[in-house]
Amino acid sequence: MKTGVPWKAITIMAVLNLTGFAALGAHAEGVKSLRGVQVDEPVFVEPIARPQNTRVNRQFRQQPPLVPHKTAAYQVDLKVNQCLTCHDWTNAGEKKAPTLSMTHYADREGRQLDRVAGTRWFCTQCHVPQVDAEPLVQNEFAPSSKR
């Protein structure tokens, strides 16, 4: 087995590195960032909209109510659901949060469960923080009548 320093390999690597950097330098002027500015220029980013903390009416009777608080910090994944630490029927009273309605405890066969149904696990699939933002896509939706 050879144990000496592999000078030949090291030299080849050094040369390859140098040519690599040279190629990078040549291409740098042609690089365009997604935001359309030079990559080393600072970019002003709009602040994330703050959710309105007041409760707004639903636009149609079956609408999942909008969330009147921030949700970004609450983890929801396969094992953990932090929304339930306040909204599950076992905690809602002491956390002064609205309790999940019974539809959240019925599985798809209609059986009433003691724990939130799998079909209602990913809360933010249906409930989004309420923000008075410009619609991304224009539409002619009008709220259902209040009769």
- Footprint on this chain of ligand HEC (rule: CB under 6 A): 55, 62, 64-65, 67-69, 71, 74, 76, 81-87, 95-98, 100-101, 103-104, 116, 120, 122-127
When the beta carbons of 6 and 118 are compared against ligand HEC, the nearer one is 118
For residue 91, the tally of other CB atoms under 10 A from its CB is 13
Residue placing its CB nearer to ligand HEC in the complex, 73 or 142: 73
Question: Shortest CA distance to 143 belongs to which of 58, 55, 59, 56?
Answer: 59
Contact assessment for residue 108 and residue 55, using Cβ atoms and an 8 Å cutoff: no
Closer to ligand HEC at the Cβ: 15 or 131? 131
Q: How far is the CB of 85 from ligand HEC (least distance, A)?
A: 5
CB of 103 to ligand HEC, least distance (A): 3
φ, ψ (nearest 5 deg) of residue 105: -110, 10
Query: Using the 8-state DSSP alphabet, how is residue 76 labeled?
Result: B
Radius of gyration of the chain (CA): 28
User: Least distance (Å) from ligand HEC to the CB of residue 64?
Assistant: 4
